[in-house]
Amino acid sequence: MKIEGEKSPSQALQKALSKLGNIIIGIDEVQNIITPWFIRVLSVAYNTTDIRFVFTGSMIGMAKILTGEGKGEKFSYQFKGRPIIEIEIKPFTFEESVNFLKYGKDTCNINMSEEEIIDASNTYRGIIGWLTYYGNLRSLG
């Protein structure tokens, strides 16, 4: 997709998002978004297009960003309009973590020992994002 002649990055991003149609965009670590224009663009896209967003990250930080109070500055745009669905995912148990990594190992055909899986499960204490990140890095070599 090529976009020309936009006056600002936010206008270019808004134009690009408006052309995407009915898709889902995932944004991880959303609590690290520090620029109000990015939230404004996402808010406009959320309320004016068929795009759906999946935000993940720190619960406290996400709440501040998505309600317009991120990084100590009151953002002028909030996610209003279409209803926001909140799904809180609790950490896995140790057994669920082991099964999660084993399933990923088998699905992606990765060579991981039982000891490595147990070590990763202990290290990441059931935090799904970190288990996913670890599994993804392992699948990439």
The residues, ordered by sequence, that sit 6+ positions from 69 with a Cβ below 8 Å of its Cβ are 75
Please indicate, yes or no, whether residues 53 and 106 belong to a single structural domain of this protein. no
Q: Does some domain include residue 83?
A: no
Instruction: Give the range with max mean pLDDT: 6-15, 20-29, 30-39.
Output: 20-29
- pLDDT-derived band at 5 (thresholds 50, 70, 90) equals low
Query: Does a structural domain hold residue 16?
Result: yes
Full residue range of the structural domain in which residue 53 is found = 9-72
Share of the chain above pLDDT 90, in %: 29
Contact 117, 101 (CB under 8 A): yes
In a domain, 59, yes or no: yes
| E strands present in 1-100 | 24-27, 52-55
Q: What are phi and psi of 27, to 5 degrees?
A: -125, 115
Is this model's pTM higher than 0.75 or not?
A: no
- Mark whether 102 and 63 lie in a shared domain: no
Q: What is the pLDDT of residues 89-100, one digit of tens each?
A: 889 999 999 999
Residue 84 forms part of a structural domain: no
- Among candidates 84, 35, 75, which has minimal Cα distance to 55? 84
| 109 in any annotated domain | yes
